[in-house]
A and B are shown apart, each in its own frame.
Chain A
Amino acid sequence: MTSMSIQPVILWTDALLFLLLLACVLAALHVRNTEPLRDAWHKVGRRPTGMAAATVLCAFVLVGLLDSLHYRPRLPELPAAADASRSAAAARKGEAVYSSEVLSALDALLAPLRLQTEKTYSAPFSFTLYQRETVQAPGSGQQRIYPRLVHGAAHLGDPAAERGGDVALRTLAALGLAAAAWALAFLIAAWRVARSERLPWDEAVSALLRGRTVLAWRAVLATLAVLLVIVSAWATLAPHYHVFGTDKVGQDVLYLALKSVRTALVIGTITTLVMMPFAVALGIAAGYLGGWVDDAVQYVYTVLNAIPGVLLIAAAVLMMQVVIDTHPQWFDTAAQRSDARLLALCFILGITSWTGLARLLRGETLKLRELEYVQAARAFGASTAAILRRHILPNVMHIVLIALVMDFSGLVLAEAVLSYVGIGVDPTTISFGTMINMARAELAREPMVWWSLAAAFVFMFALVLAANLFADVVRDAFDPRRS
């Protein structure tokens, strides 16, 4: 490896996220060929709220996945004299030296946001720092002024006068960009409708506009319009302004908020993913086998349930911190260490939350066990393993799916609270919780520093609301008790 300019890094949570993506793709293929499942998902697709929420979630997932493609950039060749101790050995062998900083595809995409840091706080769209500073002015001695930002509105000669017009112009450009992108999306949607519903072109367009299509494409397009306007406004404005201001160390808040999305997604999905095998295996086994297995499983989950969730998490996280802090040799980079902590947090949250799903599955299995088709399978001499796999498992999967989508929003909200309490993600991991935690202390300042708090809450609200709405629609479609 001599000329590679990057070295890919696969963190544990990256691997699990992509595993989950793969599982989703496989599940989608399976759904296509299974009529009842296809019908249930069609029910989801017919609901405008479901489709709109799914569109927003897709946008978040895209950000999260981009942020999960990690790599270490190659360090530029250093002059032989400099930094001899570190690179000399490597240089002699002709090996590349990679930065210890782990970046992601999202970081590369947002390079201007990531690199344009200021000295400290600055308000959204501001061209000066938030605080006065004493500077040496030529001729007149010391002065207390608001210093200009290094990057924010730096392209303007007289920002106080020109900023309004510049922002308006760039917003207009963004609207044009969004309109063009949206028109393309509209054409694709119209083409799909025309093809799948076998309508002539003009009727497909009018059905789409009136919301008369089988799947709620109009809701998708409306949501997409809002998303495109926001994203293109960021694209035209963010390279020149700090749209959401900057935080204490001068980092762009928009960048931090986008980076937090991945952490939220990891906590929301990986937690359920890691606890699911236990919950499914134990819940089904307890329900179907009964006897001492049932007693043992019930005992374990009563014990876990008996401990208030936050305290169990606190105890486990404290102990996990001790393990990680006393074994620094396990981790090459800081990113790997904080990733290990994130994954451990997912496991801990999973341990405390599998009991609810296991109990539901046990109850459902108890019911299924007595049904005729299971009795018949047993009478035919099918083995227990085969009955569980072929007859019980597929018929409880809707409960697992509902649990997966229902738990997501709660976990995202829990992350913020846990990070505030000090038992959440690593303080170096960018997450909504750490953002809120850092911003909280600044509310007492005069004038108030509100923007990082506001950005974190707005992003979280959008993600959680979309997840909640989507979860409701999925539950309505898959829960046989709701018609």
Chain B
Amino acid sequence: MFAYLVRRVLYAIPILIGVNLLTFVLFFVVNSPDDMARMQIGVKRATPEAIERWKVERGYDKPMFYNPVASGSARVTDTIFFSKSLRMFAFDFGSADDGRDIAREIRERMGPSLAIALPTFLLSLYAAISMALLLVFFRATYLDFWGVVGCVAMMSISSLFYIIGGQWLVSKLWSLVPISGYASGLDATRFLVLPVAISVIAGIGSSVRWYRTIFLEEISKDYVRTARAKGLSELRVLFRHVLKNAMIPILTGVVVVIPLLFMGSLLVESFFAIPGLGSYTIDAINAQDFAVVRAMVFIGSVLYIVGLILTDLSYVLVDPRVRLE
């Protein structure tokens, strides 16, 4: 098990190097820093001095891979590739355009992001699995049919509609909760209720349908027939046998997103003015703060790889046949 874990972590390194190279190519090779400067300053106002100043401020004035002017190891370290790309492996992302340290900003913003993403995740999981079980219990009836139709209809509605409509209905028309904002501590609850509820509703259509398919696939297997043949009630079959065995496909899809919860949700956070990582990313995109976008890409892929490893570990917990060697 431990050896397996070490191997998986080692296997993650080439993937992270790939992500790192890809972002480097995207941000520094497709466009030279001069192009980026010209775009951000504005093509008309971009004098050579202004471009030079922009590059010095952000540390883009160094050579790309090799610095012949410096001495010693600085020849390699005092370059764009080292300072902007390789330093990420030490979670050193430099500073954003407003001068703040990105790593610190990320640490501070993880809390609010998680405060929305974690309850959303748990509630969605619970609601979707129970509704899917309900549909499967009443399979091939009108309830099942209209349930699926409802799911497809809910899937077809833009998530923007859920957010805008929910904000308008609950906050503006009924004045139940504040329209947006955030507070620390327990006070945050009233700001969190609506975004969490909206996120759960927005995602439920597709997830209920997905779980329903998994359960239906499971329910047609032989062991289910055996369980019924020995006289178990349908409810017992569903909860004790089908749900247990469906855990493997469910975990495959679910565990991998758990680490990504730290990243928050772009849309919900920006609509509800939650100071999390999602709104941080959106602000960076709108302000074209390349350093922040690069940092978020790197963090995101690290979290994804952690999720993959967690998925493998979770199989051990639910499936006694799986041994990680």
Chain A residues within 8 Å of B, Cβ to Cβ: 299-300, 302-308, 310-312, 314-316, 318-319, 321-323, 325-326, 328, 409, 413, 416-417, 420-423, 432, 436, 440, 443, 448, 453, 457, 460-461, 464-465, 468-469, 472
Contacts and interface: CB of A to CB of B under 8 A. Distances in A.
Interface stretch (B2-10, B126-134, B157-165): B157-165
Contacts of B296: 311
Contacts of A413: 158-159
B214 interface: no
Residue of A326, A416, A461 with highest tally of chain B CB at under 10 A: A326
Contacts of A460: 158
B275 to A, nearest CB: 17
Given A321-B39, A421-B266, A465-B156, A443 B285 contact: no
The 5 A-B residue pairs whose C-beta atoms are closest, nearest first, are A303-B18, A306-B301, A465-B156, A308-B300, A464-B156
A217 B156 CA distance: 25
Contacts of B152: 465, 468-469, 472
B156 A409 contact: yes
A461 B301 CA distance: 33
B168 interface: yes
A312 B293 CA distance: 9
A406 to B, nearest CB: 11
A52 to B, nearest CB: 13
A194 B158 CA distance: 42
Interface in B5-46: 14-16, 18-19, 22-23, 26-27, 30-31, 35-36, 38-39, 43
B156 A468 contact: yes
A326 B35 contact: yes
Contacts of A325: 39, 43
B282 interface: yes
Contacts of A306: 15-16, 18-19, 300-301, 304-305
B164 A443 contact: yes
Contact of B31 (A319, A417, A457): A319
A153 to B, nearest CB: 28
B156 A311 contact: no
B189 interface: no
B267 A420 contact: yes
Given A319-B26, A319-B27, A319-B31, A417 B267 contact: yes
Contacts of A421: 266-267, 270, 282, 285
A308 B267 contact: no
B162 to A, nearest CB: 10
7 contacts: A299-B15, A308-B304, A310-B281, A318-B288, A323-B35, A465-B153, A469-B152
Contact of B19 (A307, A416, A464): A307
Interface centre among B30, B158, B296 (most CB of A within 10 A): B158
Q: What band does the interface of chain B fall in when counting residues whose beta carbon is under 8 Å from A? A: 35 or more
B301 A307 contact: yes
A322 B156 contact: no
Contacts of A314: 281, 285, 293
B294 interface: yes
Contact of A311 (B15, B30, B281): B281
A318 B305 CA distance: 25
A285 B285 CA distance: 37
Given A306-B19, A308-B300, A314-B281, 8 more contacts: A304-B22, A305-B304, A306-B301, A315-B26, A318-B293, A409-B156, A421-B266, A457-B158
A89 B297 CA distance: 53
B37 to A, nearest CB: 10
A472 B152 CA distance: 10
B22 A303 contact: yes
A417 B38 contact: no
A236 B152 CA distance: 33
Contacts of B297: 307-308, 311-312, 315
A307 B260 contact: no
A307 B300 contact: yes
Contact of A322 (B16, B23, B36, B281): B36
B290 interface: yes
B293 A315 contact: yes
A469 B15 CA distance: 38
B157 A461 contact: yes
B285 A423 contact: yes
A132 B293 CA distance: 44
B155 interface: yes
Contacts of A464: 155-158
Contact of A318 (B16, B164, B290): B290
A308 B36 CA distance: 23
